[in-house]
Amino acid sequence: MRKAHAVLHVDIFTDGAARGNPGPGGFGALMRFVDRNGRVHEKELSQGFERTTNNRMELLGVIAALEALKSPCDITLYSDSQYVVNAFNQHWVDGWLKRGWKNAQKQPVKNADLWKRLLEAKRPHKVEFVWVKGHAGHPENERCDELATAAADGKGRLVDAGFEG
């Protein structure tokens, strides 16, 4: 009988930014895990976009980090976006799915393209969403903000094809 491998625990920190909302935007993500020898491994991700919104960048930070994982993980995901955290912790997503991607006011859910992509990226993992106060000295959140704003202001920004602006 084969011994089951322990599931890796990963801490993920994310942030999104947009200049003008809509305007140039970017996301930042920091992923961290400790291997079985006690070594800490970190990876940073960021990307900028020509024209987008803050909420889309908050979502893309989470998506990019989850899509970077190569196997199912236990994840604690820290975000200063109540939009992202509450969608799961207050079960907004469940209601959107039941109503065919309509919100409680029977309007189409904004950013449905990214919410669908996020649900797919999240599927193999067990994810706990934790809200952190932004711009309050949380070191990893501050780092993600730096990554996001540098990407928003930087060269090599992509077109956010899903943005209907």
C-alpha pair distances (Å), 8 with each of 55, 115, 131, 146: 29, 25, 22, 27
94 annotated to bind ligand: no
Q: Is-catalytic flag, 160? A: no
- Asked if residue 113 belongs to a known ligand binding site, the reply is no
Q: Is 145 noted as a catalytic residue in this protein?
A: yes
Does residue 58 have a known ligand-binding role?
yes
Which residue is catalytic, options 9, 41, 91, 135? Answer: 135
Take residue 96 and report the two structure tokens written for it: 């959107």
Which of 26, 28, 58, 160 is labelled catalytic? 58
Q: Is the peptide bond before 22 cis (omega within 30 degrees of 0)?
A: yes
Say whether 91 is catalytic. Answer: no
For 100-135, the DSSP string reads: TSB-TTSSBPTTHHHHHHHHHHHTTSEEEEEE--TT
d(CA 128, CA 75): 6
Residue 142 is assigned to a ligand binding site: no
User: How many Cβ atoms are within 10 Å of 49's Cβ, its own excluded?
Assistant: 25
List 61, 140, 145, 160, catalytic entry = 145
User: Which candidate in 25, 48, 80, 140 is catalytic?
Assistant: 80
80 labelled catalytic: yes
Examine the residue annotation and report whether 125 is marked as an active-site residue of this protein.
Answer: no
Catalytic annotation present for 74: no
Note whether 160 and 51 are within 8 A (CB): yes
| Residues annotated in a binding site for Mg(2+) | 15, 58, 80, 145
| Residues annotated in a binding site | 15, 58, 80, 145
Active-site residue set: 15-16, 58, 80, 135, 145
